[in-house]
Amino acid sequence: MARRKLQHFAEMDEMRHVLQHPENMPGQWAAFFGNNHPLVLEVGCGTGRYTIGLSKLFPQQNFIGTDIKGARMWHGATQVRDENIANAAFLRTRIEQIDTYFARDEVQEIWITFPDPQPRESRERKRLPGTRFLNIYTKFLAPGGLLHLKTDNRVLFDYAVECWQAHPQLEVETVMHDLYSHGDQGTATAIQTTYEERYRAQGIPINYMRAKFIER
């Protein structure tokens, strides 16, 4: 298994659309993609299924999936390479450091899809939709930009609702405790992660929240 992981990392090193702990990226994403299309980020992208799905739905936007687990990311990176998807890329780094890769106002939209709920109180600082990370995202999210959360975990979701509603730079627009009972919700229902399909098959409701980043 370790040998396979090393092989995957080596393969990704040869993929132009995969950046592993790169330097000097803030303000350079338009040059990287070769256009000025809006930039959308998925944090904790796993295999990249959501990132790729979004890229196919919206060819006039650029999408970046970011995660630290390269073994999972390899699957999405390989698909992007094999299908020659020009508007999708992957950034391998710790989410705690994500603000070091983007300039102020450089990202127009952020998706958090089925993050680890980190249920123990001692792990609160690791919760991707929590206040600590909101303060990181708002360093590079453009005014008027959107922040999305999808999760099956009601405890994490309720925690996130409190954090987002209390944040002075976020305006919560939508809170849904059973997303698919509300019918077609555009991009929120158009793509499903592997986890999402599994939870829906078990009859577990999917929670969804959207907020707008207001002027500094």
Q: Per DSSP, what are the bridge partners of residue 107?
A: 141
Residues 174, 147 contacting (CB under 8 angstroms): no
d(CA 143, CA 126): 25
Contact yes or no for 110/66 (Cβ under 8 A):
no
**Using CA atoms, how far apart are residues 87 and 161, in angstroms rounded to an integer?**
31
Beta bridge mates, 176: 208
Among the residues of 60-140, which ranges form H helices? 70-83, 131-137
CB 143 within 8 A of CB 214: yes
- The CA-CA-CA angle for residues 148, 158, 195, to 5°, reads 55
| Token pair in block for residue 123 | 């792990």
- State the catalytic residue, choosing from 116, 152, 158, 184: 116
> How far is the C-alpha of 83 from the C-alpha of 74, rounded, in Å?
14
Is 152 in the active site? no
Which of 50, 156, 31 minimizes the C-alpha distance to 40? Answer: 50
Give catalytic residue positions: 116
